[in-house]
Amino acid sequence: METIIEQYSFVTFEIYCEALDRVFDDSLNESFFEEGLFDFVRQGGFARDLVRVFRELRMGLEKIARDFKMNLGDLVQSFKQRDVFGILKSFGFNFRLMFRAIGEFSKAMRGGLLEVFRLMHKQKAFQKIRSGAMKLDDLMKKYPILAKVTGIVIAGILLYIWLNMTFIGDLDYDFNFDDIVNALKGTFSIADLFASPEGLMLITLFGTGAAFGLSVPWLGKTAYNLVLALTYTAYARLKGSEKKVLMNIKSRIKKVRLK
């Protein structure tokens, strides 16, 4: 996973925004990403993959604009946000990896992780971890499933939080995309998952039942469904007053119930 992430380190926010503009005026090609960069970009086929990703984004956004009678220019602007760029880059602009992360997280939920979150919230175990009153080893012994949580599951958890932030009305939640990168590299800490703001938020949501009605969003097998979910959160930040449009988008997002 580390190689996938590092391969696209050359894509800055500025390059991303310009590529988004270029794909809509049909001027985006491989040379745009290769120009002035090292040979590894051309030899590795990264430029070709990026052109494909941006073309998928274009098709997805154009279809969403038609389906929901939305202004295409506004949609493009909604994707020119640093957190949207951050979430895409943290997964190496790889939709398949994003799907896989969500899928692995949903499996972990159905496998018993949801009940662990409920119990941890009820017993305030995460607060004990943060204060040092409970050792991580003790937590692992008490909840063995936590020892089986992998980096891809952590990445899925963090992606889940991001995709659902607007559902709980917190548009300014401080999301650190470095955590996703570290999880995909395998350099993550279970303790950090439960002691970080993201982890505490997740456990609180599940423990109080605030997230039960949302479930883990399984977005289907096409890039369109994932772009739709990203559009929901991105557009909500840009055009937060258009609740009807947002609710229509939300109703289209496919879900898997945690049962």
Q: How far apart are CA 78 and CA 4, in angstroms?
A: 26
What are the respective helix, strand and coil percentages of the chain, to the nearest 5? Answer: 70, 0, 30
Domain assignments of the chain as residue spans, ordered by start: 2-93
Q: Other C-beta atoms within 10 Å of 146: how many? A: 19
Q: How far apart are CA 197 and CA 56, in angstroms?
A: 33
Instruction: Give 65-113 pLDDT, tens digit per residue.
Output: 999 888 899 899 999 988 899 999 999 888 888 888 888 888 888 788 8
Instruction: Give 221-239 pLDDT, tens digit per residue.
Output: 677 888 888 888 888 777 6
